[in-house]
Structure 1
Amino acid sequence: MQIQDLPYPDPGVPDAHSGPRFLWWLGRNQLGGQLKALAWGLLHFLAVSALPFCVGLAVQSVVDRSGTRLALTGALMAGCGACIALGELMLHRTAVTNWITAAARVQQLLARRTALLGSALTRRVAAGEVVAVSTGDVEKIGWFVEAVSRFSAAAVTVVVVCAALAVYQPALGVIVAVGVPVLAVAVLPLLPRATRRADFQREKAGRATELASDTVAGLRVLRGIGGEELFLDRYRRASQEVRRAAVRSARMWSLISAIQVLLPGLLMIAVVWRGVQLARDGRIEVGELVTVYSAVMLLTYPLRHFEEIAMAYSFSRPSARRAARVLSLERTVDSAGSLAAEVPGGDLYDPVTGLLAPAGRLTAVVCGDPDAAGLLAERLGGHASGPGEEAPGESGPKSTSVVLGGVPLDELPLECARTAVLVQDKDPVLLSGSLRELLDVPASGLVSAEAALSAAQCGDVLDALTQGSLDTEDPMDARVTERGRSLSGGQRQRLALARSLITDPEVLVLDEPTSAVDSHTEARIADGVRSLRAGRTTVVFTSSPLLLDHADRVVLVSEGEVVTVGTHRELVHGEPRYRDVVTRETGEEAAGEARGRAVPGGVASDDEAVLDGVLEEIEETA
């Protein structure tokens, strides 16, 4: 795989059982690139290691006063220099290619997993950790793959040079052959501690990244409540913890580096001391002594890659573990599907809660717990487990899928299930780009952008985008900033609603789509959505009386199951639990209502007056 061939047609199925196994799987998929790097690395390192022999031959030629041998040695050194240059160039090129292609493979795997899990991903893994894995961790994993390219060639070169020295000059070669392995393993006792410190540093950095991500995401809210300084202090403390952890980790690695310099120096002293004795006794030639000395000196070059591979593995192992954790997450339903890729039609039914959304009707769901409502909304789209279900891979009851038109969603291919049911959560994300690009989403083609924007009451949003754009008069070409930060919360909600309406799915699930919109606009949105979605199945999670009054049927869900079903007006008068959620009625008010009703001929309670006023407001606004 070359860089120009990226992205991969298929990045493969990773072994995500553990970090080391994921690195091993990644290495096996990079085998071709690793063999190329090994070949070029051997050319480079062996050419570097051949220089001492050339120097020894040159010195001995001068001692013997042989010009022919000196000329041949010079030509040999020139050839070694050419091999060194070519080998280094191609080794760097191949190793960096391995780095980039490995990082690209990991990024493709992460992107595919993110698309598979959807919004359920951030419920199972912190958003900051996902950001850390897809940025810094990918780089460290790629670094390890690149380091393996160099280390493999360096290790073979060390073995070859030690064997050559033992044959060339046994008296000194034995010292080198024994000393070099000691140098290679001398730092092994320090690696566990260095690895733990690196893991601790990476953990602190991940927490700081998560805190920064959450702070930026909630910056508008923080400014509204004056909490910038509070969160700034929190991030400052987290940043200082990262700095202290990095300093402790750097101290350990500097100690390892110092040992890697000290021990080769001691080996060189021992070789020179022994070589001088042998030369004085006449047992070796001066050229042989220079050759062995130069070889030992140059061996420090490939030995540095032993330290590099240890450092790269120490830093990449926790990164690989985090990547494997994300890649091991599975959708709670079968992503492959066992039925034909046809979008079914019919009623939407959740067997866990008993929620039924009839086909072609607007169903409103009232749930007192917003978190439970969000989970149920995701479950209706096949993105999350229902109440009481176990996560994938754990023991417990098997997941019971939501059924659409008699077909379980987990028996549909993922693309077909996503086409059939679209879920818009309570905090939709707007990507940066023009409004035309924002609304350019997979759709049935039956709903135009103008109709969707009109139903979502986006007229003032278009005006705001046009005024904020100096280079265009067409609001469709106006740019939307990242996550729509230049817009208010209500404007972002309405643009997201328009985007969902354009797709025109068989089933549209909306989780609090108007929570940041004023009541008059909310009433118009309710009427627009009802008209535009006529004949389509729509489920709205809300507690707003304005939306509930436009629904064909209202379902009250409490403690994970359906309690009652009816219209808004029926339930608000006849179901106390429903009235508690919709009108925010307190216990004292409920008791007052009971006392008022207990008085014969008494006037209506305050709560009844409030309810009548709410109904009148709904009628007037509509």
Structure 2
Amino acid sequence: MRLRDLPHPDPGEPDTRSGPRFLLWLFRRQLRGQTKALCWGTLHMGAVACLPVVVGAAVQAAVESSAAGLVRAGLLLACLGLVMAVADTMLHRSAVTNWITAAARVQQLLARHTARLGAVLTRRVAAGEVVKVSTGDVEKIGWLVESASRFSAAVVVTGAVCAGLVLHEPRLGLIVVLGIVAVMLTVFPLVPAATRRADRERARSGRAAELASDTVAGLRVLRGIGGEELFLGRYRRASDELRVASVHTARMWSLIDALQVAVPGTLLLVVVWQGHRLAADGAITPGGLVTVYGAVLFLLFPLRLFQEGAMAWAFSRPAARRAVRVLSMRRGDTTGGDGVPEPSGPPALHDPLTGLTAPAGRLTAVVHGDADGAEGPAARLGGRPPDEDEGSASPSVEIDGHPASELPRAVVRATVLVQDKDPVLLSGTLAELLDVPASGRVDAATALAAASCSDVLDSLAHTSPEAARDPLLGRITERGRSLSGGQRQRLALARSLLADPPVLVLDEPTSAVDAHTEARIGAALRELRAGRTTVVLTSSPLLLEHADRVVLLLDGRVAAEGTHHDLWRDVPGYRAVVGRDTGADPSDPAADRTAVRSESLHVEENA
């Protein structure tokens, strides 16, 4: 494959049964490129291996005072030089193409599978490990693919040279073969130990990357609670462990390097001593002796390629294992659906597991008795199929009476949009943030106004000169770290409102917003989403009072449903959850709640 053809139209379905099987699958997908690199590598190394023969012939011609022999040797050397130059260039080109092609294939596989998994991925794999797989591990896998052709060519040419030495001069040839075997027996048994040390280094590297990622993501919070020194100490310890593991790995590879110099050097001394005896006895010509010496020196070159191949395997094996761990994750069967009608209009949602029903075209608020368990219903209502953490027997949520697991994935994604409790904002302009698939019914200005983003636009105008003439040109930093938690939350809400999906599920959309802003958002949300199915998971009276219907979940099941005021008056459990046992007056549920949230969340909003 040519680099101009990247990315791959279809990266294929990988074999994820194990790391070696994945690497074998990757090689099979590029057999043509590997064969081309092997041919060029064999030609290049074969030309290099022929140099001692031509040099030996030149020496013998000089000894015999043969001008014609010297001319022939000179012409052969020129031809070999030309072949070596062309073959080496093409080998490098082919090998690097294999590297980039393999790395691009793995990156496409990871990107595609990450999109399939969605939020499931971060619940099973640490963020630092995901970053490690998609960056450093991809490079290591590509290195193995790139070095495989040179390693294979080295094996072929080394075998041919050893066979030629045995045929040319049996006694010296057998010494060389025994020396090569000695190198293998002294060096390659150390490779498993080097691999284990490399594994420990990779594990500590992933841990340090994970810790650094988590620390940077929570830096604002750490500064607020004075926890910077604690996490700095943790990172220092993780960094020291990584340094120690790296030193241990380097020591092993240094030992392998030393052996690869000492053993072949000893072999060369033995060959020189034996060759001198044979030349003194007249058993070998001077040209033949030079040929043997040159062949031994040449064999040091493929031995270095053997070491490179061993290192590439040692580093790529754990990398492939981590990649397979991500690629083998499944979130359930979401591909079926032949003959299942797509939902038309605002559909209704029903969760058989909890008994929760969200009527079509209505604003339904869900109050969860367990705040930590609120994430489960939000993910389920988004059509996420059950995974092994929940048990395969859990029924799928139903969209207009059809299980989401039986609907095509594209239909579910186009129908239901879930805004997580901690939404992610990518870096770029505000226009790029709001450039999402949308129905066209809601424009950007309306969505921003409904989410009360006027102060966000002012903030972006102060930090981005371009935003002074057009607010949509304001730049947002990575993950929106230049904004407060409430501002990030409201921008994410504006993005969801702009998308205007048939079903919108909001998980605590105003948890970091002050009470006055929350009240405005509640009223605007009810007006803007009129005629659309909307589910809001919240315990805030300022949002609950705008809902058409409120559902209380206790112990994972529907315990009561009705309007906010009716539930407050008739259901003590509802008052306990929504009022947080504050003793608020049932006749005015929002009054005390508003005061408490106005005081506490206003501080968080401006943190």
Q: One fold, TM greater than 0.5?
A: yes
Q: Map residues 154-553 of structure 1 onto 2, 5 A cutoff.
A: 154-335=154-335, 337-339=337-339, 342-344=342-344, 345-383=346-384, 385=386, 390-391=388-389, 397-472=392-467, 473-553=469-549
| Mapped partners of 2:258, 2:107: distance in 1 | 36
| Mapped partners of 2:427, 2:256: distance in 1 | 46
Match of 2:558 in 1: 562
| Mapped partners of 1:65, 1:400: distance in 2 | 92
3-state SS in 2 of match to 1:572: helix
| Mapped partners of 1:461, 1:239: distance in 2 | 38
| Mapped partners of 1:254, 1:608: distance in 2 | 72
1:360 maps to a residue whose letter is G
1:27 is the counterpart of 2:2:
no
1:447 maps to a residue whose letter is V
Q: Structure 2 stretches of 5 or more lacking a match?
A: 598-607
| Mapped partners of 2:207, 2:361: distance in 1 | 46
| Mapped partners of 1:45, 1:341: distance in 2 | 63
Q: Structure 1 stretches of 5 or more lacking a match?
A: 587-606
1:146 maps to a residue whose letter is E
3-state SS in 2 of match to 1:187: helix
1:248 maps to a residue whose letter is H
Match of 2:581 in 1: 585
| Mapped partners of 1:211, 1:438: distance in 2 | 28
Work out the percentage of aligned pairs sharing the same amino acid. Answer: 62
What displacement does 1:232 show? 1.0
Match of 1:592 in 2: none
Distance change in 2, residues 1:619/1:287 (3 Å): closer
- Name segments (4+ residues, structure 1) moved above 6 Å: 617-621
What displacement does 1:190 show? 1.2
Match of 2:134 in 1: 134
| Mapped partners of 2:554, 2:296: distance in 1 | 77
The answer on whether the counterparts of 2:568 and 2:589 sit within 8 Å (CA) in structure 1 is: no
Instruction: Give the TM-score taking structure 1 as reference length.
Output: 0.92
| Mapped partners of 1:6, 1:190: distance in 2 | 38
| Mapped partners of 2:518, 2:351: distance in 1 | 28
2:162 maps to a residue whose letter is C
Match of 1:614 in 2: 589
1:2 maps to a residue whose letter is R
3-state SS in 2 of match to 1:186: helix
The answer on whether the counterparts of 2:343 and 2:400 sit within 8 Å (CA) in structure 1 is: no
The answer on whether the counterparts of 2:52 and 2:291 sit within 8 Å (CA) in structure 1 is: yes
Name the stretch that deviates more: 560-569 or 451-460.
560-569
Q: Deviations over 1:252-306 (max 9, x none)?
A: 1111111111111122122122211111111111111110111111111111111
2:497 maps to a residue whose letter is L
| Mapped partners of 1:14, 1:619: distance in 2 | 54
Distance change in 2, residues 1:218/1:616 (3 Å): closer
What displacement does 1:23 show? 0.8
Match of 2:96 in 1: 96
The answer on whether the counterparts of 1:390 and 1:398 sit within 8 Å (CA) in structure 2 is: no
Aligned residues: 594
| Mapped partners of 1:573, 1:561: distance in 2 | 21
What displacement does 1:341 show? 7.5
| Mapped partners of 2:339, 2:37: distance in 1 | 46
The answer on whether the counterparts of 1:341 and 1:416 sit within 8 Å (CA) in structure 2 is: no
Q: Deviations over 1:220-243 (max 9, x none)?
A: 111111111111111111111100
The answer on whether the counterparts of 2:167 and 2:173 sit within 8 Å (CA) in structure 1 is: yes
What displacement does 1:184 show? 3.1
Match of 1:151 in 2: 151
| Mapped partners of 2:205, 2:426: distance in 1 | 26
What displacement does 1:360 show? 0.7
What displacement does 1:161 show? 1.0
What displacement does 1:384 show? 5.3
3-state SS in 1 of match to 2:42: helix
| Mapped partners of 2:144, 2:594: distance in 1 | 67
3-state SS in 1 of match to 2:330: coil
| Mapped partners of 1:139, 1:254: distance in 2 | 22
| Mapped partners of 2:308, 2:185: distance in 1 | 13
| Mapped partners of 1:236, 1:490: distance in 2 | 32
Q: Deviations over 1:475-504 (max 9, x none)?
A: 011111111111111111111001001111
What displacement does 1:391 show? 4.6
3-state SS in 2 of match to 1:15: coil
1:401 maps to a residue whose letter is S
| Mapped partners of 1:139, 1:608: distance in 2 | 60
CA RMSD of aligned residues (A): 1.8
